[in-house]
Structure 1
Amino acid sequence: MQLEHDHSPIAIADRLGDGPSVNYLRDWVYGGIDGAVTTFAIVAGVIGAELSASIVLILGLANLLADGFSMAAANYSGTKTEVDDYKRLHAMEERHIDLEPEGEREEIRQIFQAKGYDGDDLETMVNLITSRRQTWIDTMLAEEFGLATTLRSPMRAALTTFAAFVIVGAVPLLPYFVGLNSALLSLAMTAVTFFAIGSMKSRWSTQSWFWSGMETLAIGIIAAGIAWAIGMLLRGLIA
């Protein structure tokens, strides 16, 4: 069995010295899948309503920019809210440690008692954690509120979502850009893109690249099927 990284003292020091990394993979996957689904929904709806290829491009490009910006703005606001909430709870824990240190020590004691520590080991653990203020606060934030110590950048999260939405969302429109007005080709390219996104995200999961790709493809196909069904319904209403 192959290890994922070196465990020599120097390698460990280098890896830990950089601190924990912040992952924006979910923003990319979320933005990419939504971009492909919503853009293909435009294609399916327009083709289902038997409108011209120029309408596909106009509505598709409008969707890429407007909906992409909307998603990025929503992700920015949501991520910023998480950061603000972390800062609020951090300030609260600092205030509690200043005003009621023994009560906060008792919270640490009960937290680690619930983990199975007792006697001298428990008191040693409490003394060690509360001897360093930042460690004390980080422990309370993680154990009491379930918060990570690394904060995601709202701007980077938003830009990642927007970039993924535009890049991946443009795939269903590519055949129409080059004059190949084929909904079937658009669907095939979108399906390949879904599979590729799933395969790439397997690097950060325990799934194989194939099954991760198939899972994402299935999600995309279901969403595309809903869009196609709506397009067909709208064609019936227009007719």
Structure 2
Amino acid sequence: MSVIAAAEPPHVAHRDNHTHRDVNGGWLRPAVFGAMDGLVSNLALMTGVAGGAVTQQTIVITGLAGLAAGAFSMAAGEYTSVASQRELVLAELEVERRELRKHPGDEMLELAALYESRGVEPALAREVARQLSADPERALEVHAREELGVDPDDLPSPLTAALSSFGAFALGALLPVLPYLLGASSLWPAVLLALVGLFGCGAVVARVTARTWWFSGLRQLALGGAAAGVTYALGALFGTAVG
């Protein structure tokens, strides 16, 4: 009876509510980090310069330079980081592929022992390991997931990470500059727009995490506001000292 029940299709409610979002695509972390970093760093940079009582033109040039430099730096850093991690995983996969080719029997026993350690009956564990090991590519995939914790077919893309980081940083860094480009003559419109952007980014991030939208939004607002306040104070202090 239990075998029949196991063969039945899943209940519609379970099927509809048991889908998962892509957590290994390599785009979410650099995009979120890029947007937040762009907002906070460029806002802090511009307020720090503004605290030194410089001209409006200097503030705008500083903001645009910070946008360009930060976006390219983030993209280069993400590409190098993800590419290095990917190359390391590929090297380890090649080691595993070589072991499967040279010692298939030992690798099959290793997989059976792993399943036994998780509570599978010894005879069943050996049979499962035997069937999975029949196809070398499937065996590699299983060993990679069990031993390395990675999916060989779903490795993050360096280019995706770089482009996500570049675009997100540029978009975030643009917000503090935008009021000046539209004709604003004081710092406050830039600060207000950037703070709204910080809250909005935090709220959007909450859509893909377990946090509430208001908590995530307020957290980003507080962190970004604190950074801007500190750098403005430092800019005013150093501007006065230099002047």
* CA shift digits 1:64-122 (9 cap, x unpaired): 11221011011011111122112111111110111122222232123222322232222
The CA deviation at 1:152 is 1.9
Alignment of 1:45-124 (within 5 A): 45-124=48-127
Instruction: Please say which of residues 173-182 and 59-68 is displaced more in the overlay.
Output: 173-182
Which of 12, 27, 32 is the matching residue for 2:30?
Answer: 27
Q: C-alpha root-mean-square deviation of aligned residues, in Å?
A: 2.7
> Radius of gyration: which is bigger?
2
Aligned 8 A contact 1:198 1:215 in 2: yes
Relative to the length of structure 1, the TM-score reads: 0.85
Aligned mates of 1:156, 1:104 — CA distance in 2: 34
Quickly say closer, same or farther: Cα 1:226–1:141, change in 2 above 3 A: farther
Q: Residue 209 of structure 1 corresponds to which residue in structure 2? A: 213
Write the distance in 2 (CA, Å) between the matches of 1:220 and 1:131: 55
1:102/1:194 CA distance change after superposition, 3 Å: same
Alignment equivalent of 1:175, drawn from 156, 179, 183 = 179
Query: Is the contact made by 1:49 and 1:238 (CA closer than 8 Å) also made in structure 2?
Result: no
Q: TM-score, normalised by structure 2?
A: 0.84
Return 40-49 or 146-155, whichever deviates more: 146-155
Kindly report structure 1 stretches of 4+ aligned residues shifted beyond 4 Å.
2-5
Partner residue of 1:190 out of 187, 194, 200: 194
Where in structure 1 are there 5+ consecutive unaligned residues? Answer: none
- Structure 2 vs 1, CA of residues 124 and 215 (structure 1 numbering), >3 Å: closer, same or farther? farther
Identity %: 28
Counterparts of 1:4 and 1:33, CA distance in 2: 36
Residues 91/221 of structure 1: CA separation in 2 closer, same or farther (3 Å cut): same
Q: Secondary structure at the match of 1:94?
A: helix
